[in-house]
Amino acid sequence: MKIILFLILFYTSIHAADYYLPTAIGSSAYSKGIGAQGFEKTSVGVLDNPGSLSHIDQYSFSFFSSTIMNDFLYQTLSYAKRISAKNVLGMAYVDLGVSAIPKTSLGSHSGFNENIVLQDSTYSYSNSLYKVSWQHNTSKTVSIGTSLTYYKTRLASLSGTGVNMDLGLHYKSLSGLTEISVQSSNIIPALNVTYSNGTTETLPFYSTVGIKRRLDHLTLFIQLKSTSLSTSSYLHSLGGEYKIPFVPLSFFGTWYQLEALESIKDSTVLGIRLNMWCFKANYSYEKSEYPKNDNTYYFSLSVDI
């Protein structure tokens, strides 16, 4: 109970967000498609909610990939292993990168009577993070977890690093029909990302509270997420999954809200999951605002033993 109160206290405080978290893109095609964090039951919990790693039986390996706007490659790798009846350890790597960004200068060019912007060369950008997680079962229904995150980014010759922590709590009713996920990321406000040019960026604190309710073949997900907007508000999401009887397939979808600078937008994601033997393959897509793509596609795969 103390932990819950602790998380709720954090949940109600809003910090300014500055550093771009690559995980804003998502942690798996499934969690993206249900619009809620902490209900994956795979090593994705390292990225979503370390408290949800209680579902790991022996070990779990997950991979997630997406290409954004044709050029930005986003990939995550995560691994979790049960080390005792009540404890699971996990680790994850996330990378968002893009290359061939034009490096420019002003100069003269034939046909123009003023200096114009010229491309000299190209450079690349990378935004990575490394996580190490620990999960502990406090009872048959409640588990807690924590993650240590190391952030590393590079933009041309500029580099930055930072460290922070996450906390997570996961509740699962004895009947297994109801689950609650509560997590907070970057809980230590004094820890920032420091760049090689001496500037710093705040690691944005955010929290999510999600509820999962199973109704026979249909499962519903509801989540609230805190924002860094100057006007305190929460991002809502509503998702669902329908498991086809006698077939290892399920369809899922979500409507969710997202931040776009000082405004809130909404979007929808649809997807399909194949859950066979120890494999979970997820594919989902989202309508793209970027006019050169109709949709953004997400693919993730988990192996759970």
Partner 1 sequence: MRTLLILLCLSTLNCAESTPVFSALTVESLKISSVDEYQPISMVIISAVNAGNMSVLNSDMTPIELAIAEHESVAISGKALAYPNPMKWSDTNGIIGYALNQSTDVTLSLFDMRGVEIYTEEFASEEVGGREGYNKIPFNKAHVGEDLSTGVYVFLLMHDGSVLAESKVGIHQ
Q: Which residues bind partner 1 (CB under 8 A)?
A: 17-20, 22, 24-25, 68-69, 71-72, 96, 98, 100-106, 112, 114, 116-119, 123, 125, 127, 153, 155-156, 158, 160, 195, 197, 199-201, 258, 260-262, 265, 288-293, 296
Shortest separation between residue 300's beta carbon and partner 1, angstroms: 17
Closer CB to partner 1, residue 21 or residue 169? 21
Residue length of the chain? 305
Please give the DSSP secondary-structure letter assigned to residue 19: S
Shortest separation between residue 25's beta carbon and partner 1, angstroms: 6
Neighbours of 200 (CB within 10 A): 13
Q: What gap in Å lies between CA 215 and CA 177, rounded to an integer?
A: 7
Q: Which runs of E-coded beta strand occur in the chain?
A: 59-68, 72-82, 87-107, 116-137, 142-155, 158-172, 178-185, 192-195, 200-202, 206-215, 218-226, 234-243, 249-260, 263-276, 279-287, 295-304
Contact 80, 92 (CB under 8 A): no
Picking from 91, 92, 161, 88, the residue whose alpha carbon sits closest to that of residue 126 is: 161
Closer CB to partner 1, residue 74 or residue 88? 74
Shortest separation between residue 98's beta carbon and partner 1, angstroms: 5
Q: What gap in Å lies between CA 19 and CA 11, rounded to an integer?
A: 19
Closer CB to partner 1, residue 158 or residue 305? 158
Shortest separation between residue 135's beta carbon and partner 1, angstroms: 28
Closer CB to partner 1, residue 102 or residue 248? 102
Closer CB to partner 1, residue 73 or residue 274? 73
Neighbours of 231 (CB within 10 A): 8
Shortest separation between residue 129's beta carbon and partner 1, angstroms: 14
Shortest separation between residue 145's beta carbon and partner 1, angstroms: 26
Closer CB to partner 1, residue 123 or residue 134? 123
